[in-house]
Amino acid sequence: MTKNYTQIKICGLRSAEAASVASECGADFLGFVFVDGVRRQLQPDEAAQIINEYRSSTQVSKSTKLVGLFRNQSLDFVNQTAAETDLDFIQLCGEEDPDYVSRLNLPIFRQIRVKDGTKPKDLYKTVESHLNAGHRVILDRFDIDTPGGSGRSFNWSAAEGVAEQSNVLLAGGLKSENVQAAISQLAPWGVDVSSGVETDGIKDPKLIKTFIEAVRAI
> Are 15 and 46 in contact, with CB atoms under 8 Å apart?
no
Phi, psi of 111 (to 5 degrees): -80, 130
For the chain, domain boundaries: 7-216
Q: Give 72-117 pLDDT, tens digit per residue.
A: 999 999 999 999 999 999 999 999 999 999 999 999 999 999 999 9
Superfamily designation of domain 7-216: Aldolase class I (3.20.20.70)
Cβ burial 17-41 (10 Å sphere, 16+ → b, else e) = ebbbbbbbbebbbbbbbbbeebebb
pTM of the model: 0.94
What single string gives the DSSP state of each residue in 122-171?
HHHHHHHHHHHTT-EEEEEE--TT-SS--S----GGGGTTTTTSTTEEE-
